[in-house]
Amino acid sequence: MAEAGKKMSVTQLTFIVTVNMMGSGIIMLPSNMAKVGAISLLSWLVTAIGSLAIAWGFAQCGIFNQRPGGMAAYAEDAYGRDGYFQVFLLYFLSLAIANVAVASSALGYLAAFFPILTASPIATCVGVIVLLWITTAANFGGPSITGRIGSVTVWGVILPVGFMSIFGWFWFHGDTFAAAWNPKGLTLGQGMGSSISLTLWAFLGMESASQNASAVENPKRDVPLACMFGTLGAAVIYILSTTAIQGIVPNQELAESTGPFGLAFAKMFAPGVGQVVMALSALACVGSLLGWQFTLASTAKDAADTGLFPGIFGKATAAGAPIVGMVIMGVVQSVLALSTISPNLSEQFAALVNLAVVTNVVPYIVALSALFVIMRRAGVEQRSYRLNAAVAVIAIVYSVYALYASGKDAVMGGTLVLALGYLAFGLVAARLQRAIAPAAKSQAAAKANLARA
> Is 445 domain-assigned?
no
Q: How far apart are the first and last CA of the chain?
A: 29
**426, pLDDT greater than 60:** yes
pLDDT in tens, 59-90: 888 888 877 777 888 998 999 888 888 888 88
pLDDT band at 386 (very low <50, low <70, confident <90, very high): very high
Report the pLDDT averaged over residues 157-169: 90
Measured distance CA(312)–CA(300) in Å, rounded: 10
Tell me, yes or no, whether 444 lies in a domain.
no
| Domain range enclosing 220 | 10-432
| Residue 342 DSSP symbol | -
Whether residue 5 lies inside any domain: the answer is: no
Q: Which residue did the predictor score with more confidence, 382 or 142?
A: 382
Within a 13 Å sphere around the CA of 183, how many CA atoms are in the beta-carbon half?
Answer: 15
Q: What pLDDT does residue 165 have?
A: 92
Closest CA to 214 of 77, 349, 63: 63
1 within a domain of the structure (yes/no): no
Position 451 pLDDT exceeds 70: no
* Each residue's pLDDT tens digit, 27-55: 788 888 888 888 888 888 888 899 889 98
Q: How far is CA 202 from CA 88, 101, 219, 238, in A?
A: 21, 12, 25, 8
pLDDT at 439 over 70: no
d(CA 327, CA 192): 40
% of the chain residues with pLDDT over 70 = 87
The distance of Cα 133 from the centroid of its chain, to the nearest Å, equals 21
Quote the pLDDT of residue 293. Answer: 81
**Domain with 415 in it: what CATH number?**
1.20.1740.10
pLDDT for residue 108 = 82
The yes-or-no verdict on residue 201 having pLDDT over 90 is: no
Q: Is the pLDDT of residue 23 over 80?
A: no
Q: Tell me what pLDDT residue 438 has.
A: 46
Count of structural domains, the chain: 1
- On whether the CB atoms of residues 356 and 101 are closer than 8 A, the answer is yes
CB 399 within 8 A of CB 58: no
At 440 the pLDDT is 45
Indicate if the pLDDT at residue 372 is higher than 50: yes
pLDDT confidence of residue 400: 93
- Per-residue pLDDT tens over the stretch 150-161: 667 778 888 898
Q: Higher model confidence: residue 45 or residue 288?
A: 45
In the prediction, which pLDDT does 172 show? 95
Mean pLDDT of the chain: 82
449: confidence class by pLDDT, cuts 50, 70, 90: very low
Any domain includes 112: yes
Q: Is the pLDDT of residue 271 over 70?
A: yes
Residue 370's pLDDT is: 95
Whether residue 170 is predicted with pLDDT greater than 80 in this model: the reply is yes
Task: Say if 4 falls within a structural domain.
Answer: no
Position 393 pLDDT exceeds 50: yes
Predicted confidence (pLDDT) per residue in 402-424, tens digit: 998 888 888 888 888 888 878 87
Q: What is the pLDDT of residues 103-147, one digit of tens each?
A: 888 888 888 888 888 888 888 889 999 999 998 888 887 666 665
Confidence (pLDDT) at 343: 79
Question: What DSSP assignment string belongs to 358-391?
Answer: HHHHHHHHHHHHTHHHHHHHHT--HHHHHHHHHH
* Domain-embedded: residue 215: yes
Q: What is the structure's pLDDT at 2?
A: 46
Position 224 in a domain: yes
pLDDT at 264: 94
pLDDT for res 207: 65
Torsion of CA 176, 181, 183, 188, to 10 degrees: 180
Chain segment 231-245, per-residue pLDDT in tens: 888 888 888 999 999
Percent of the chain at pLDDT exceeding 90: 21
Continuous H helices in 247-312: 251-255, 260-268, 271-305
